[in-house]
């Protein structure tokens, strides 16, 4: 059984405690690896290594073109191991293999994208600003922010880590990564690729472990300049509190209960396809999942019938089995949480259209059938709270204004979608949806080139795109006075 290591200061090392905990295959409920249980002393070693590496300037002071060369080596290393890393994610997380391969490919592209951006920024080291006074020259410089502490989730274990690691390295920062204890193996593979690519010691560090034993010490460490967290709202609050204690930068990508507004002029086949993908892709374990669907009344009953048929046809099983579209949930804890949410949905008076239980013939593993509720009370927890599983809630609406009000009636604002054959209507509704990501006539496509983040309790700051790079930079203004001129405030004063 494989035993993972920590990666600190350029060396693979066991945790100082010598402790490990099991990685559980959600398809079988059996352990298949042992994960290093990092603790506060390991976090301290990693942060101090990152601090030394940043302050020494070997990476932070390197020209962006040279950093780009290394980032492209990382991208190539991920592609070389793509299938093997994807299999690790299938066993660790439960997702179907094609989805895992898609995620790992996206992770490689993310390094390529930020390599290009680092190279481009190297040709534009400063922005000159017209100050309206010829005696002064004003420039804006972007400099590496420092040591970043990154805490990442289990639903896209490698990809969510790379969303933080790639821009940080591109900008010249150093980083300590603490992935979720539920899915850590692909992040160890990332450390192996980074080590082979020649990233200097201390620039990238990996400490696996639980939230209380490793995540909290990382959030509290005084030598960390910024905390970057993806996960639940409850944990995000704790990370923000820890950042505020040291007046440190923080970015939070938190939960969602994203709406999908479907008008009755759209193609029903396309609506079924995108609604299904929006909630059942990755087993619904997606922060942006469009789990609240609002359907115009003229299409409502027909669409419910089509969705029931489509959901019941989804192939469920181990992610390693060809043709499977829905794997097991990630863990016993998540399985129990989603089952409890379904039972609460039943009690709320919502109409169960399909699903809600264990699939026939799958007695082991954390499997659930795709679940659809209709006519859901809008005050019910299953309508308002994130479930993070294959559970869809659907309600009707009559007017465009009503749909917008229902869509925005949420404490979250990560994502939203609208579908209509009327382009003007789509643009109108998209402009009024209170979300950081809005899809028109689709749901869930995510591009590295575009910023990602939410409104309201869905988070603070943006990842991906140029915004993700800038989030790893400090902004400095430098104002220069023409030394050939005379200012005269003091020297010209009367004696």
Specify the CATH number for the domain of residue 149.
3.40.605.10
Q: SS3 for 411?
A: coil
CB 223 within 8 A of CB 247: no
Q: Determine, yes or no, domain membership for 378.
A: yes
Q: Are residues 282 and 370 in the same domain?
A: yes
Q: Determine, yes or no, domain membership for 141.
A: yes
Q: Are residues 191 and 275 in the same domain?
A: no
Q: Are residues 149 and 247 in the same domain?
A: yes
Residues annotated as catalytic are 253
Query: For residue range 396-409, what is the model confidence (pLDDT) as tens digits?
Result: 999 999 999 999 99
Q: Are residues 249 and 339 in the same domain?
A: no
**CA 25 to CA 91: how far, in whole Å?**
5
Q: Determine, yes or no, domain membership for 236.
A: yes
Q: Determine, yes or no, domain membership for 156.
A: yes
- Asked whether the predicted pLDDT for residue 494 surpasses 80, the reply is no
Query: For residue range 187-210, what is the model confidence (pLDDT) as tens digits?
Result: 999 999 999 999 999 999 999 999
Q: What is the pLDDT of residue 493?
A: 65
Give 427's Cβ-side CA count (13 Å radius): 3
Q: What is the pLDDT of residue 216?
A: 97
CB 294 within 8 A of CB 407: yes
Q: Provide the pLDDT confidence category of residue 285 given band limits of 50, 70 and 90.
A: very high
- Asked whether the predicted pLDDT for residue 443 surpasses 80, the reply is yes
Q: Provide the pLDDT confidence category of residue 44 given band limits of 50, 70 and 90.
A: very high
Nearest in space to 46 (alpha carbons), one of 5, 4, 6, 19: 6
Token pair for residue 225? Answer: 């300049």
Helix 64-80 to helix 97-122 angle (10° resolution) is 170
Domain that holds residue 8: 2-255+458-479
CATH number for the domain spanning 404: value is: 3.40.309.10
- In this structure, what are the phi and psi dihedrals at residue 128, rounded to the nearest 5 degrees? -90, 135
Token pair for residue 74? Answer: 């990382």
- Asked whether the predicted pLDDT for residue 139 surpasses 90, the reply is yes
Q: Are residues 164 and 100 in the same domain?
A: yes
Pairing label, strands 11-13, 6-8: antiparallel
pTM (2 d.p.):
0.96
Average pLDDT of span 348-370: 97
Total of domains in the chain: 2
Q: Provide the pLDDT confidence category of residue 123 given band limits of 50, 70 and 90.
A: confident
Q: Are residues 125 and 271 in the same domain?
A: no
Q: Provide the pLDDT confidence category of residue 304 given band limits of 50, 70 and 90.
A: very high
Q: What is the pLDDT of residue 254?
A: 96
Q: Are residues 266 and 248 in the same domain?
A: no
Q: Are residues 183 and 319 in the same domain?
A: no
Q: Determine, yes or no, domain membership for 447.
A: no
- Asked whether the predicted pLDDT for residue 316 surpasses 90, the reply is yes
CB 293 within 8 A of CB 392: yes
- Asked whether the predicted pLDDT for residue 302 surpasses 80, the reply is yes
Q: Are residues 147 and 211 in the same domain?
A: yes
Percent of the chain with pLDDT over 70: 99
Q: What is the pLDDT of residue 125?
A: 79
Q: Are residues 348 and 243 in the same domain?
A: no
Q: Are residues 312 and 350 in the same domain?
A: yes
Q: Determine, yes or no, domain membership for 490.
A: no
- Asked whether the predicted pLDDT for residue 495 surpasses 70, the reply is no
Average pLDDT of span 55-69: 97
Q: Determine, yes or no, domain membership for 486.
A: no
- Asked whether the predicted pLDDT for residue 326 surpasses 90, the reply is yes
Average pLDDT of span 218-242: 97
Give 299's Cβ-side CA count (13 Å radius): 25
Q: Are residues 80 and 220 in the same domain?
A: yes
Q: What's the mean per-residue pLDDT of the chain?
A: 97
- Asked whether the predicted pLDDT for residue 261 surpasses 70, the reply is yes
Q: Determine, yes or no, domain membership for 488.
A: no
**214: DSSP letter:** I
**CA 65 to CA 83: how far, in whole Å?**
29
CB 170 within 8 A of CB 71: yes
Q: What is the pLDDT of residue 279?
A: 98
Cβ of 427: how many Cβ atoms within 10 Å? 13
């Amino acid at each position: 059984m494989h035993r993972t290591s920590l990666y600190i200061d350029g060396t693979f090392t066991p945790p100082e405690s010598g402790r490990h905990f099991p990685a559980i295959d959600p398809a079988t409920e059996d352990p298949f690896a042992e994960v290093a249980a990092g603790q506060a002393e390991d976090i301290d070693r990693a942060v101090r290594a990152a601090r030394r590496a940043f302050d020494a300037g070997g990476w932070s002071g390197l020209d962006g073109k040279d950093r780009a060369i290394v980032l492209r080596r990382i991208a190539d290393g991920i592609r070389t191991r793509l299938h093997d890393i994807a299999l690790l994610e299938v066993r660790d997380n439960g997702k179907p293999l094609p989805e895992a391969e898609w995620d790992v490919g996206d992770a490689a592209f993310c390094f390529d994208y930020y390599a290009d951006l680092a190279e481009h920024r190297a040709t534009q080291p400063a922005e000159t600003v017209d100050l309206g006074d010829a005696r002064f020259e004003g420039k804006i410089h972007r400099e590496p922010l420092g040591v970043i502490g990154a805490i990442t989730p289990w639903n896209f274990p490698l990809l969510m880590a790379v969303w933080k690691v790639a821009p940080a390295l591109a900008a010249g920062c150093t980083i300590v990564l603490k992935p979720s204890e539920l899915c850590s193996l692909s992040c160890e593979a990332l450390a192996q690729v980074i080590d082979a690519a020649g990233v200097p010691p201390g620039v990238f560090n990996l400490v696996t472990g639980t939230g209380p034993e490793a995540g909290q010490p990382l959030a509290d460490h005084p030598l960390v300049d910024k905390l970057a967290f993806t996960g639940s709202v409850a944990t995000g609050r704790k990370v923000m509190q820890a950042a505020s204690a040291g007046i440190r930068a923080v970015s939070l990508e938190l939960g969602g209960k994203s709406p999908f507004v479907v008008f009755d002029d759209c193609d029903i086949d396309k609506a079924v396809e995108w609604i299904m993908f929006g909630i059942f892709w990755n087993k619904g374990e997606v922060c942006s999942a469009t789990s609240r669907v609002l359907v115009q009344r003229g299409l409502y009953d027909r669409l419910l019938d089509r969705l029931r048929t489509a959901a019941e046809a989804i192939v469920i099983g181990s992610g390693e089995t060809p043709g499977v579209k829905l794997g097991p949930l990630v863990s016993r804890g998540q399985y129990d949480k989603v089952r409890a949410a379904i039972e609460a949905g039943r009690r709320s008076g919502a109409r169960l259209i399909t699903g809600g239980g264990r699939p026939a013939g799958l007695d082991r593993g954390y499997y659930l059938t795709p679940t659809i509720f209709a006519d859901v009370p809008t005050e019910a927890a299953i309508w308002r709270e994130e479930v993070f599983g294959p559970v869809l809630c659907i309600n009707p609406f009559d007017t465009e204004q009503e749909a917008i009000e229902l869509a925005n009636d949420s404490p979250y604002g990560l994502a939203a979608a609208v579908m209509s054959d009327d382009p003007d209507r789509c643009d109108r509704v998209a402009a009024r949806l209170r979300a950081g990501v809005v899809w028109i006539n689709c749901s869930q496509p995510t591009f590295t080139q575009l910023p990602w983040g939410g409104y309201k309790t869905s988070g603070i700051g943006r990842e991906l795109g140029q915004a993700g790079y800038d989030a790893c930079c400090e902004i400095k203004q430098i104002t220069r006075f023409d030394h050939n001129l005379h200012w005269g405030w003091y020297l010209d004063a009367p004696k």
